[in-house]
Structure 1
Amino acid sequence: MNQEYFTGIKTIAYEGPKTRNRLAFRHYNAEEVVGKKKMKDHLRFSMAYWHAMKNTSSDPFGGGTRQRPWDDGSSTVENARRVADAGFEFMQKLGLGFYCFHDRDVAPELGDLQASNDALDAVADHLRKLQRQTGIKLLWGTACLFAHPRYMQGAATSPSADVYAIAAAQVKHAMDVTHRLGGLGYTFWGGREGYATLLNTDMKRETGNLAHFLHMAVEYKKKIGFKGQFYIEPKPREPSTHQYDSDAAACLNFLREHDLLEHFKLNIETNHATLALHRVEHELAVAAGAGALGSIDANTGDELVGWDTDQFPTNVYMATQMTLQLLKMGGFKTGGLNFDAKVRRESYEPVDLFHAHIGGMDTFARGLKIAHRIIEDGELDRFVKTRYASFDNGIGKTVTTGKATFESLEKHALKLGPVLPASGRQEMLENLLNDYVL
């Protein structure tokens, strides 16, 4: 990395809440200990290569506006290396420890599969050198199985066996590269694994083919000795009308049905939860409850816009609720907080990437400290524990331990007079959350 691409921008430092420097952290102090871990180890922030380095800020109504002095737009290995240099300079200046990529983010797709593989290998050599120089790690890799026209009707769910075969070959090579780079995980995001209409869709065949695809990946993982975690990323729609990995519960059901659950955890994205008409804390709780919460794509959406806007997270309430779920499950074991977010189309200068990431990192730092305080104080946990106390003894305990029968519960119920559960106290608890956040 000889050339500097983000000129005039120094390493972003923690300066505290009172700083007037917009290129400084107000709340994220990487070395600060929260509980028993440093903040950087709790949050494990990651750069999304596709948005930070490659996104042009185009939208359905207009072309790209982004100024990217590191990218000349050519489909060459030389250009891809420059983009990588800029990415690692950016991560170093921001203090990010991890990054994530699709294969076609880091290297160009060329005229045939072999040429594309060769280009990816060449760029991977450069990425490995940059990782060694900086200590930055690959959080997870994945394959882009949605952009090329061949994938217009899906990849692992395509009605074409030839497309299915190319998708398998592409994932195989992406796994090889992820393994070679010491990736901590590999993600399967079914961008077009779904349908536009059931009139032309054999759903049972498609989901069966998808399950076999994932089983092949599991077998290949064992063959090459890749120890990283596999992830599935739920999303209900867009670009497909319906995607098979529609939300956390649907993903878990699919994995259980096809004997895959032991091999996969979920990568939950905030904006995808919104599209599924859930709050992100719901998706996190569902995944964590099944022991399957692996990683998080940290972004947010606009509830007034019915698509995946991938905005940077700035809502402290949301970050608090997310990190509360994370801390309750004992923190990340393999994944991290990946900023799958892009600056707005109007924010086109390179410095805007720093403003966006600083805001997201500060937001989650605040959320982490608030969530830790909530857990340490214990008032919320005590309320929930008391609310379900009737299942800790007596007839309730027979339910919890699986010993209750309809007959035993009927015998108990016939002895009861009028029954009402205790108040849920939602408003009080919302006020309690306000006390911590504000």
Structure 2
Amino acid sequence: MNASAKFFDASAPVAFAGENAGQGPAFRWYDRDRMVHGRRLEDHLRFAVCYWHSLCWPGGDPFGGETFLRPWHHGTDAMAQARAKADVAFELFRLLDVPYFTFHDVDAAPEGASLAESVANLNAIADLFEAKMASAKVRLLWGTANLFTHRRYMAGAATNPDPEIFTYAAGQVRAALEVTHRLGGQNYVLWGGREGYETLLNTDLKRELDQLGRFVALVVEHKHRIGFKGPILIEPKPKEPTKHQYDFDVATCYGFLERYDLLKDVKLNIEQNHAILAGHSFHHEVALAEALGVFGSLDINRGDDLLGWDTDQFAMNVPELALVFHEILNRGGFTSGGLNFDAKIRRQSIDPDDLIHAHVGSMDACARAFLAAADMLDAGALTAPLAKRYEGWSGPEGRAILGGQRSLADLADRALQPGFDPQPRSGRQEYLESLVNRHVWRSADGTG
């Protein structure tokens, strides 16, 4: 591919046009400089374009080959292809005017014949990234290592029955973590794509969990050794490609982190599609992570409710997103995390500019949802009824129970007193659902 060749039809960064936005790429809701709760909208949402789906996926599926025919996917010089891909990536970042991007090691640079060659390739492309970032707006939200595609990882990486493969994975993660640190990454992600099992007939669960706990501890130790300040993030997913993954959902990850004393340094990167596969809502997983103090970041996409696999579609469901953002904003918003577009255009969306339209549409949906969330929070639409529902626990008796000042006998004796007959109160679910819709349907100026 000629590095100077034009890939996208668009040339100017996508701008905010408000209600006057036409059919071309333009934002109706994402006004990046709009102040919301004391911060610019861009600083709240912290959008990141991911390297893998956007630039590495060829458009194939289990029943058919590539459809996109990207020029950098074909050639004999793998490093030249990687450099061409980087040129297009940074042009995409510029056109979308996003503050962040994310990548796996093998997305950015080709694997070599040895780990040493792979690390050299990664560092060479990191040099290119560093040079491009010097004159660009975009920064690195997080990096990660792909420990699931190569055949050596068919039985997992950290949980592999062979300690030699565990060792190889450690070398790969050290390189990716150090490059992430060098490029100013704000987080580092561990996604256990094959850290699970296909059958219990050949699986020692306790051994594999102990191996995984030790591996994550080694990453945390190295993070401190090199001075990396961001959190390590684990991404929950219940299955696919394995039948059962050890990072099944938020609750499972919390128990794992507590067991192996990792809660101080490790948080969670939550994805909507993974939540659906685990039998939960996106809202549930984010709310639980916030409640347990392990919320870190979001992969922003959506799954198809009719399909039982990871479809990774661009997030467009405004009411669902509004509830998630309400949860996050109510607890102070993102710190080092953000919204990573771990999403892919459909394999029939073969025009290069479809990548731009997909990101713009989802960024606008997120912005609209976030404004609705802020509006709900300002109005106390959900927080006030919630506080009212639990107000008894803030009273003297409720505090005494939770504070250990009442025994079971004390409570039983009180319940036996004449006239003690507590009555249930309405949960008002339909009323609250209508309130959410009311705030989502409001126009940009807050009317309607």
TM bracket (short chain):
over 0.9
1:226, distance to aligned residue in structure 2 (A): 1.2
Distance 2:367 2:137 in 1: 22
Match of 1:115 in 2: 117
Is 1:427 the counterpart of 2:430 in the alignment? Answer: yes
Distance 2:72 2:379 in 1: 48
Pairing of 1:75-90 with structure 2 (within 5 A) = 76-90=78-92
Q: Residue by residue, what CA displacement relative to the aligned partner does 1:14-36 show, whole Å, maximum 9, x if unpaired?
A: 11123213211111111111121
Q: Structure 1 regions of 5+ residues with no counterpart? A: none
Distance 1:202 1:275 in 2: 24
Distance 2:73 2:14 in 1: 23
Q: Residue by residue, what CA displacement relative to the aligned partner does 1:26-49 show, whole Å, maximum 9, x if unpaired?
A: 111111111211110000000010
TM-score (norm 1): 0.97
User: Which residue identity is paired with 1:126?
Assistant: L
Is 1:390 the counterpart of 2:392 in the alignment? Answer: yes
Alignment partner of 2:412: what SS?
Answer: helix
Match of 2:257 in 1: 255
Q: 2:200 aligns with which of 160, 176, 198?
A: 198
Match of 1:370 in 2: 372
The answer to whether the 8 Å contact 1:75/1:109 transfers is: no
Match of 2:49 in 1: 47
Match of 1:226 in 2: 228
Match of 1:97 in 2: 99
- The change in CA–CA distance for 1:383 and 1:148 in structure 2 (over 3 A counts) is same
The answer to whether the 8 Å contact 1:81/1:123 transfers is: yes
Deviates most, 186-195 or 415-424:
415-424
Deviates most, 175-184 or 41-50:
175-184
The answer to whether the 8 Å contact 2:72/2:82 transfers is: no
Distance 2:75 2:407 in 1: 67
Match of 1:278 in 2: 280
Match of 1:316 in 2: 318
The answer to whether the 8 Å contact 2:296/2:336 transfers is: yes
Distance 2:368 2:327 in 1: 15
1:71, distance to aligned residue in structure 2 (A): 4.2
1:179, distance to aligned residue in structure 2 (A): 1.0
The answer to whether the 8 Å contact 1:67/1:350 transfers is: no
The answer to whether the 8 Å contact 2:159/2:195 transfers is: yes
Match of 1:379 in 2: 381
Distance 2:409 2:347 in 1: 63
The answer to whether the 8 Å contact 2:10/2:95 transfers is: no
User: Which residue identity is paired with 1:371?
Assistant: A
Q: Residue by residue, what CA displacement relative to the aligned partner does 1:271-298 show, whole Å, maximum 9, x if unpaired?
A: 0000001001100011111221110000
Match of 2:444 in 1: none
1:75, distance to aligned residue in structure 2 (A): 5.7
1:351, distance to aligned residue in structure 2 (A): 0.4
User: Which residue identity is paired with 2:420?
Assistant: G
Q: Residue by residue, what CA displacement relative to the aligned partner does 1:137-179 show, whole Å, maximum 9, x if unpaired?
A: 1100000000000000100000111111111111111111111
Paired residues in the alignment total 438
Match of 1:11 in 2: 13
Q: Structure 2 regions of 5+ residues with no counterpart? A: 442-448
User: Which residue identity is paired with 2:41?
Assistant: M
- The change in CA–CA distance for 1:174 and 1:162 in structure 2 (over 3 A counts) is same
Distance 2:75 2:143 in 1: 22
Q: 2:34 aligns with which of 32, 35, 51?
A: 32
Alignment partner of 1:262: what SS?
Answer: coil
User: Which residue identity is paired with 1:404?
Assistant: R
TM-score (norm 2): 0.95
1:427, distance to aligned residue in structure 2 (A): 0.9
Match of 1:151 in 2: 153
